[in-house]
């Protein structure tokens, strides 16, 4: 085992950030993606090896993966890119990691658990802000209240989005709001609302189909799960859309138009914006008797944290610190894994 890993999708916003942080840490990942010219521009100033390979060329992809022990897959939308990369990882016995937040991708990866165990590899989607902090917080809440029947989580501080994240959210417009009820993922026509105190008084929050609707259940077995974002003007407008409007916005021509508009926006937050920002997560669990426990987690800005957690997990997986099969961050590395990173603080609000 060489301990070597690949960053696939190294020319996008998050990929470039992760590659830069890796070089600053003295790590030597192989940078990969489709476009050789773009890869060269990213890799050479960092002194990193690079490899141009497309996901639709399985033989070439297999050859590239044979030189690494793990791949940190950053090229979204993962609804389109996860399966070909995971298939290649299973063929080449390479640990599969990604930074998805897409519920469908988490569930598809979970369905490959047996395949992964037979191949002796770990399949761990969501090694970034989606969903390391929230998954670890969910596991912590389960530890605090083992008999919890309901998990609700609020997330604040995610205002600046990369192109990839924004496009993923656009793709989910027509799906309604996904939550988990009685252990099953269902879609609600209208998103639930509530107020949540993120540290400065009660704030309006709207339910979203965040990845923990999938992963928190695999980590905790809590049957009812709802994830909320602190409400913004854009979220309020989206929440007010009727079913017909959502259907129209989910059609191909409108989707393509919206994604073209996203491409005109800044690529993502700059270094100063990332350094000044932080995220707040509130976890709340309730048992069958109505008892409630809450905890608060403060982390660095989401893209900053994604680079840190993704690289840490990639190093661990590539060096053999892993459990074969489908995993979530907390199942693989524990509920306290998130607290190992600078700028993270967890507080139990009622003891």
Domain harbouring 311, CATH code: 3.40.50.720
Question: Is the pLDDT assigned to residue 240 strictly greater than 60?
Answer: no
Nearest to 283 by CA among 349, 337, 328: 349
Beta bridge partners of residue 188, listed in sequence order: 177
If asked whether residues 168 and 276 sit together in one domain, one would say yes
More confident residue, 135 or 189: 135
Query: Between 262 and 217, whose confidence is greater?
Result: 217
Residue among 295, 3, 20 nearest 145 (CA): 295
79: how many CB neighbours lie within 10 A of its CB?
16
Same domain, yes or no, for 234 and 176? yes
Please give the pLDDT value at position 162.
47
**Per-residue pLDDT tens over the stretch 190-208:** 889 999 999 989 999 999 8
Q: How many CA atoms lie within 13 A of 36 on its CB side?
A: 3
pLDDT value at 263 more than 70: no
Do 264 and 320 fall into the same domain?
A: no
80 and 149 both lie in a single domain: no
Say how many residues make up the chain. 351
Decide the pairing of beta strands 50-52 and 148-156.
unpaired
Q: Is the dihedral of CA 210, 88, 76, 338 positive or negative?
A: positive
Q: Is the pLDDT of residue 163 over 50?
A: no
Specify whether 176 is located in the same domain as 204: yes
pLDDT digits 0-9 by tens, 87-107: 999 999 999 999 999 999 999
Query: Domain range spanning residue 136?
Result: 132-302+341-348
Task: Mark whether 324 and 199 lie in a shared domain.
Answer: no
164 and 104 both lie in a single domain:
no
Say whether both 39 and 106 belong to one domain: yes
Same domain, 293 and 156: yes
User: 285 with 319, same domain?
Assistant: no
Any idea what the Cα angle at residue 226 is, between residues 129 and 75, rounded to 5°?
30
Share of the chain above pLDDT 70, in %: 85
Query: For the chain, what is the domain count?
Result: 2
CATH number of the domain that 293 lies in? 3.30.360.10
Same domain? 167 vs 261: yes
Query: What percent of the residues of the chain are helix, what percent strand, and what percent coil, each to the nearest 5?
Result: 45, 25, 30
Nearest Cα residue to 267 out of 23, 79, 6, 16: 16
What does pLDDT average to over the chain? 90
* The pLDDT of residue 184 is above 80: yes
Residues 124 and 47 in one domain: yes
Lowest mean pLDDT among 127-141, 173-187, 308-322: 173-187
């Amino acid at each position: 085992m060489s301990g070597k890993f690949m960053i696939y999708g190294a020319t996008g916003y998050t990929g470039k950030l992760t590659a830069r942080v890796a070089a600053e840490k003295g790590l030597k990942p192989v940078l990969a993606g489709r476009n050789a010219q773009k890869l060269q521009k990213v890799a050479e100033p960092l002194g990193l090896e690079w490899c141009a390979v497309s996901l639709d060329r399985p033989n070439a992809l297999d050859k590239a993966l044979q030189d690494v022990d793990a791949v940190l897959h950053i090229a979204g939308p993962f609804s389109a890119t996860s399966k070909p990369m995971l298939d290649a990882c299973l063929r080449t016995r390479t640990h599969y990691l990604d930074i998805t937040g897409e519920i469908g991708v988490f569930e598809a990866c979970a369905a490959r658990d047996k395949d992964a165990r037979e191949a002796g590899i770990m399949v761990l989607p969501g090694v970034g802000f989606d969903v390391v902090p929230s998954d670890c917080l969910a596991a912590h809440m389960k530890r605090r209240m083992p008999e919890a029947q309901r998990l609700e989580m609020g997330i604040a501080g995610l205002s600046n989005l990369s192109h990839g994240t924004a496009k993923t959210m656009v793709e989910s417009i027509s799906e309604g709001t996904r939550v988990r009820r009685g252990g099953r993922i269902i879609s609600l026509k209208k998103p639930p609302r509530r107020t949540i105190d993120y540290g400065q008084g009660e704030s309006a929050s709207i339910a979203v189909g965040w990845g923990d609707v999938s992963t928190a259940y695999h980590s905790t077995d809590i049957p009812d799960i709802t994830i909320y974002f602190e409400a913004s003007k854009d979220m309020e407008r989206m929440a007010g859309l009727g079913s017909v409007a959502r259907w129209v916005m989910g059609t191909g021509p409108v989707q393509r138009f919206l994604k073209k508009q996203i491409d005109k926006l800044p690529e993502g937050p700059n270094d100063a914006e990332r350094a000044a920002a932080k995220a707040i997560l509130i976890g709340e669990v309730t048992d069958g008797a109505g008892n409630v426990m809450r905890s608060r987690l403060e982390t660095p800005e989401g893209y900053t944290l994604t680079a840190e957690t993704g690289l840490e997990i990639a190093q661990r997986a590539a060096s053999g610190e892993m459990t074969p099969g489908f995993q979530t961050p907390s199942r693989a590395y524990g509920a306290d894994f998130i607290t190992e990173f600078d700028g993270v603080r967890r507080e139990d609000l009622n003891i």
